[in-house]
C-alpha cells in the first residue's frame, strides 16, 4: 500500500529524472564506476582515482541543461554531453587529477557556473553562485550524516553477530556507493528545483539568509581586517629594514585579495552591514600588496625559473590585478567580466598544450638544469652531493622526473637526501 510520503518521494524522483536526464545518467555512471572498481571489473589502480572527475563531468550537463532548457535543436548539445563519461571509463587520468591543472579546471568550472546566465548585476551573480554552493552543502549535509548512521548500524551489527569481514566490507562499499555517490547528486538536483514541489530549495534560501549576515559581519570581515593588518605590518617591516619581500608573500597576497573579493561579494546579499567604510576602501587597500606580489614573484622566477605552479600563480596575480583596477574605475558588471577574464586566462594556460603551465614549467626548468650543469661543469650521470647549488640540481631533476621528461633512470640521477622530500616548488627558498 502506497503512503502519501512514498507518493511524494516517487513524484520527486520522477521530476528529477524528467528535468535532468543526463545529470541522472552521470550520477548512475559514477555509481557503476564505484561498483565495477570494487569488484575489480575495472582495476582500482587504473580507474579508481577517476572519481575525482565527477565535479567537472557533472557540471557540464548541469550548465547545458539550464542554457538550453527549451526543446529545440540546441537541446541536442545537452544530450550529447553524456559522451563526456566515455573517457572516465577508458583512460587513467590520475596524472591530470594530481596536477595544478585539475585545480585550475575546478576553478574554471565554478566560474562558468557563476556566470553562465550572463547576469550583469553584481548582486545577482553573487546570489546565483551562493545558491549553487548552498545546495551543494545542503545535499552533503543530508547525505553525510545518513551515511555515517548507516555505517554505524552496519558495524554495530557486525560486532554483535560476528558477520564475515568480506560481507561487511562489501556492504560498506554498497552503502557508500548508494548514499554518497548516487544519492548526493540527486539531492542536489532536488534542491536546485526552484518550484513548489521542492520545499528544500526554499528552506536552503532561508537558512542562507539567516547565516550570511552574522557570518559576514562578525566572522569573515573581522578576519579579513586582521589579515590586512598582518600584511601591512609586514610591509612596514620591509620598508624599515629595506629588505626584499619573502618569496612566499606572493601566495599570501593572492589569498588576501581573493578572500577580500569573495567576502565583499557576500556583502551584496548581506543586510545591516557593519563595516561599510572598510569595504569602500578595500580595493585601494590591495594596491601595495599587489605591487609587492609582483616584486616577489618576478624575483623568484628570475632566480629559479618557472614551474607549473608558478605559472598559475602569475596568472592568478594578473587576474587579481585586473580585478582591482576594474573595481577602481568600473563598478558595474565587475563580477561577470572578471569571471570571463579568469575563464579565458586559466583555459589558455591549462588546455592549450604549446603554452600550458605544464609546458612552460618544464621548458623553464630544463633551461635551469642546463644552466646549472654548465655552471658546475657536470653531466647528467654525475653523482652529486646535496649541498648548495647541487641541491638545486636535485630539485630540478626531481621536478622534471615527476613531469616524465627526464629520459635517464631516476636512481642514476638522484641520491637520497632530505632535500628530496621537499616539493619541487621548494625552489622558492635559496639553496645555500
Residue 223 to residues 229, 233, 260, Cα–Cα distance (Å) = 10, 15, 10
Answer with the one of 199, 223, 244 that is the final residue of a domain.
Answer: 199
CA-to-CA distance for 206 and 200, rounded, in angstroms? 10
Regarding whether 275 and 252 lie in a shared domain, the answer is yes
CA-to-CA distance for 28 and 34, rounded, in angstroms? 10
Regarding whether 157 and 228 lie in a shared domain, the answer is no
Give pLDDT, residue 127: 83
Asked, for residue 340, whether it belongs to a domain, the answer is no
Asked, for residue 105, whether it belongs to a domain, the answer is yes
User: pLDDT tens digits for 347-357?
Assistant: 999 999 999 99
At residue 418, what are phi and psi to the nearest 5 degrees?
A: -65, -30
Counted residue by residue, the chain has a size of: 432
Regarding whether 158 and 72 lie in a shared domain, the answer is yes
DSSP state at residue 182: I
Residues 6+ apart with CB under 8 A from 290: 253, 257, 317, 320, 321, 324
Q: What 3-state class would DSSP assign to 45?
A: helix
Q: What parts of the chain have a pLDDT lower than 50?
A: 1-2, 196-197, 405-432
DSSP state at residue 177: I
Residue 90 to residues 42, 43, 94, 103, 322, Cα–Cα distance (Å) = 10, 11, 12, 22, 40
Regarding whether 366 and 219 lie in a shared domain, the answer is no
Asked, for residue 4, whether it belongs to a domain, the answer is no
User: pLDDT tens digits for 166-195?
Assistant: 788 888 888 888 998 899 999 899 888 755
* Domain interval for residue 98: 12-199
Regarding whether 229 and 102 lie in a shared domain, the answer is no
CA-to-CA distance for 186 and 139, rounded, in angstroms? 8
Regarding whether 417 and 374 lie in a shared domain, the answer is yes
All 3 cell numbers of residue 417?
Answer: 637526501
Q: Quickly tell me which residue has 560486532 as its cell.
A: 159
Regarding whether 225 and 176 lie in a shared domain, the answer is no
Regarding whether 121 and 33 lie in a shared domain, the answer is yes
For residue 355, how far is the Cα from the chain centroid? 21
289 within 8 A of 258, measured Cβ to Cβ: no
Give pLDDT, residue 431: 37
Tell me the chain's radius of gyration from C-alpha atoms.
26
Count structural domains, the chain: 3
Asked, for residue 342, whether it belongs to a domain, the answer is no
User: Rounded mean pLDDT of the chain?
Assistant: 82
* Prediction pTM value: 0.79
All 3 cell numbers of residue 118?
Answer: 550572463
b/e burial code for range 25-45 (CB count within 10 A of at least 16 → b): bbbebbbbbbbebbeeebeee
DSSP state at residue 381: T
Asked, for residue 353, whether it belongs to a domain, the answer is no
Give pLDDT, residue 285: 93
Regarding whether 189 and 104 lie in a shared domain, the answer is yes
Regarding whether 172 and 256 lie in a shared domain, the answer is no
Amino acid at each position: 500500500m502506497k503512503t502519501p510520503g512514498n507518493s511524494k518521494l516517487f513524484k520527486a524522483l520522477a521530476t528529477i529524472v524528467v528535468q535532468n536526464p543526463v545529470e541522472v545518467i552521470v550520477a548512475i555512471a559514477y555509481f557503476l564506476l564505484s561498483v565495477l572498481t570494487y569488484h575489480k571489473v575495472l582495476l582500482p589502480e587504473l580507474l579508481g582515482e577517476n572519481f575525482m572527475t565527477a565535479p567537472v563531468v557533472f557540471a557540464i550537463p548541469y550548465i547545458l541543461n539550464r542554457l538550453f532548457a527549451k526543446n529545440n535543436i540546441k537541446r541536442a548539445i545537452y544530450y550529447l554531453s553524456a559522451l563526456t563519461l566515455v573517457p572516465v571509463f577508458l583512460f587513467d587520468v590520475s596524472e591530470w587529477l594530481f596536477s595544478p591543472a585539475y585545480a585550475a579546471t575546478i576553478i574554471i568550472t565554478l566560474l562558468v557556473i557563476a556566470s553562465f546566465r550572463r547576469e550583469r548585476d553584481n548582486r545577482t551573480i553573487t546570489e546565483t553562485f551562493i545558491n549553487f554552493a548552498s545546495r551543494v552543502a545542503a545535499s552533503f549535509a543530508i547525505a553525510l550524516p545518513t551515511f555515517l548512521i548507516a555505517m554505524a548500524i552496519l558495524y554495530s551489527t557486525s560486532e554483535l553477530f560476528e558477520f564475515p569481514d568480506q560481507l561487511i566490507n562489501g556492504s560498506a562499499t554498497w552503502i557508500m556507493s548508494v548514499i554518497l555517490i548516487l544519492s548526493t547528486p540527486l539531492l542536489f538536483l532536488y534542491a536546485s528545483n526552484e518550484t513548489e514541489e521542492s520545499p528544500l530549495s526554499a528552506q536552503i534560501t532561508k537558512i542562507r539568509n539567516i547565516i550570511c549576515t552574522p557570518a559576514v559581519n562578525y566572522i569573515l570581515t573581522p578576519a579579513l581586517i586582521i589579515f590586512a593588518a598582518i600584511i601591512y605590518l609586514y610591509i612596514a617591516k620591509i620598508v624599515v629594514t629595506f629588505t626584499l619581500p619573502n618569496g612566499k608573500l606572493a601566495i599570501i597576497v593572492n589569498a588576501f585579495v581573493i578572500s577580500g573579493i569573495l567576502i565583499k561579494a557576500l556583502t551584496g546579499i548581506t543586510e545591516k552591514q557593519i563595516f561599510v567604510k572598510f569595504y569602500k576602501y578595500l580595493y585601494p587597500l590591495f594596491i601595495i600588496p599587489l605591487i609587492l606580489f609582483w616584486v616577489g614573484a618576478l624575483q623568484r622566477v628570475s632566480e629559479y625559473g618557472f614551474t607549473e605552479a608558478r605559472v598559475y600563480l602569475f596568472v592568478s596575480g594578473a587576474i587579481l590585478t585586473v580585478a582591482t583596477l576594474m573595481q577602481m574605475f568600473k563598478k558595474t558588471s565587475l563580477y561577470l567580466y572578471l569571471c570571463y577574464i579568469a575563464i579565458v586566462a586559466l583555459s589558455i594556460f591549462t588546455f592549450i598544450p604549446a603554452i600550458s603551465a605544464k609546458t612552460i614549467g618544464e621548458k623553464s626548468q630544463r633551461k635551469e638544469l642546463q644552466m646549472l650543469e654548465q655552471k658546475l661543469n657536470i653531466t647528467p650521470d654525475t653523482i652529486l652531493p646535496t649541498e648548495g647549488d647541487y641541491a638545486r640540481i636535485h630539485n630540478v631533476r626531481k621536478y622534471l622526473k615527476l613531469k616524465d621528461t627526464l629520459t635517464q633512470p631516476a636512481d642514476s640521477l638522484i641520491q637520497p637526501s632530505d632535500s628530496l622530500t621537499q616539493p619541487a616548488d621548494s625552489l622558492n627558498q635559496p639553496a645555500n
